[in-house]
Amino acid sequence: MNPVNYLYLAALLFTIGAAGVLIRRNAIVVFMCVELMLNACNLAFVTFSRMHGNLDGQIIAFFTMVVAAAEVVVGLAIIVSVFRSRHSASVDDASLMKL
């Protein structure tokens, strides 16, 4: 097996995550799909690291994980506070700024 297959898998997972962000309405599930996309990117980084034979790709993947953790903390706090004020976790309901 050629290790390029890991890249194809990463592309597939990223695509599924992107489609999920577009299709789903529940804010929590949309967030999970974003996490899926981040994970697919990490897989690509690790595979590239193996391809080039140096560890820089793994460092970038490590930083991606840290940023993802920070993003999840703030994003879930926003979802909880929106749910408190509007009693809904649907992304369609937050449409106050719409004309």
Which residues are at the interface with other proteins (CB under 8 A)? 1-9, 11-20, 22-26, 28-29, 31-33, 35-36, 39, 42-43, 46-47, 49-56, 58-59, 61-63, 65-74, 76-81, 83, 88-90, 92
* Minimum CB distance to other proteins smaller for 22 or for 96: 22
* Minimum CB distance to other proteins smaller for 33 or for 99: 33
Residue 10: CA count within 13 A, CB half-sphere: 16
* Minimum CB distance to other proteins smaller for 2 or for 97: 2
b/e burial code for range 31-64 (CB count within 10 A of at least 16 → b): bebbebbbbbbbbbbbbbbeeeeeeebeebbeee
Gap between the Cα atoms of 27 and 90, Å rounded: 6
User: Taking the complex as a whole, how short is the minimal distance between the CB of residue 97 and other proteins, in angstroms?
Assistant: 15
User: Taking the complex as a whole, how short is the minimal distance between the CB of residue 54 and other proteins, in angstroms?
Assistant: 5
Tokens of 92: 């369609």
